[in-house]
Amino acid sequence: MSTPDVIVFDVNETLSDMSPLGEAFAAAGAPEHLAGTWFAGILRDGFAIAAAGGNAAFSEIAQDSLVRLLAESGDAVDDAAAGPIISALKNLGVHPDVVPGVEALRRVAELVTLSNGSASVAEGLLERSGLRGHFTELLSVDDAPAWKPARSAYAYASSETGHPADRMLLVAVHPWDIHGARRAGLRTAWINRTGAQYPGYFSPPDLEAADLVELAGQLTDGTA
């Protein structure tokens, strides 16, 4: 595969390590596993709104769904518990491979983000990790017609960067994001940190790597 002009990073889970959210739920008196339920529900409802022709803010869905989820989890959870959990979401760190991986990939192509979350959350994440200066743009579907994986979200990224879709490489841990980007004409790289099996019903990625450092190696040593 030829070297891309732009590498487009998903943010939530691809760059950010969301494991501390379980601790935030536990501190609120709720089961840790609800963190995964919450995030999956945010995505489900965001996708549903996009499929129906709308575009709601990630933060709006996150706040509303969290309050209801905590209320359903039992009387031991205080009404004020949502605040610290939302704060934990906004102040996550990156996975261990992200700093060296991004530093290597910035020598390969221009770097941007494209998140279903807000650009300000991506900004904070990259500032805390010392990586903000490696990214030329932080894009959010808040400014696009719809959430990823809608085709219009990737078209928005292409328009904003000034590069055609086939010169862009989307990097994500989510197969649904890989599928959407492939359908929109982008090349794709699936980061498979857990050794999972890729779903057979989604368009396959062009590249697969265990982490961002390995992906950088593939793009620079000619194995991609």
Per-residue pLDDT reduced to its tens digit, 186-207 = 999 999 999 999 999 999 999 9
Per-residue pLDDT reduced to its tens digit, 100-138 = 999 999 999 999 999 999 999 999 999 999 999 999 999
* Spans of all domains in the chain: 6-17+93-220, 20-90
Q: Any idea what the Cα angle at residue 169 is, between residues 163 and 175, rounded to 5°?
A: 135
Note if the pTM is more than 0.85.
Answer: yes
Q: Is 195 exposed, middle or buried (0-12, 13-18, 19+ CB in 10 A)?
A: exposed
* CATH level 2 (architecture), domain 6-17+93-220: 3-Layer(aba) Sandwich (3.40)
pLDDT at 54: 96
Check residues 72 and 151 and name the one with the higher pLDDT.
Answer: 151
* pLDDT bracket for residue 2 (50, 70, 90): confident
pLDDT at 71: 86
At residue 140, the 3 state secondary structure works out as strand
Per-residue pLDDT reduced to its tens digit, 163-172 = 999 999 999 9
Per-residue pLDDT reduced to its tens digit, 153-191 = 999 999 999 999 999 999 999 999 999 999 999 999 999
At residue 214, the 3 state secondary structure works out as helix
pLDDT at 42: 98
CA distance 219 to 224: 5
Per-residue pLDDT reduced to its tens digit, 56-99 = 999 999 999 999 999 887 755 666 789 999 999 999 999 999 99
CA distances from 134 to 80, 108, 138, 160 (A): 37, 11, 11, 17
Closest CA to 98 of 17, 39, 206, 177: 17
Please give the torsion angle defined by the CA atoms of residues 53, 57, 59 and 62, in that order, rounded to the nearest 10 degrees: 0
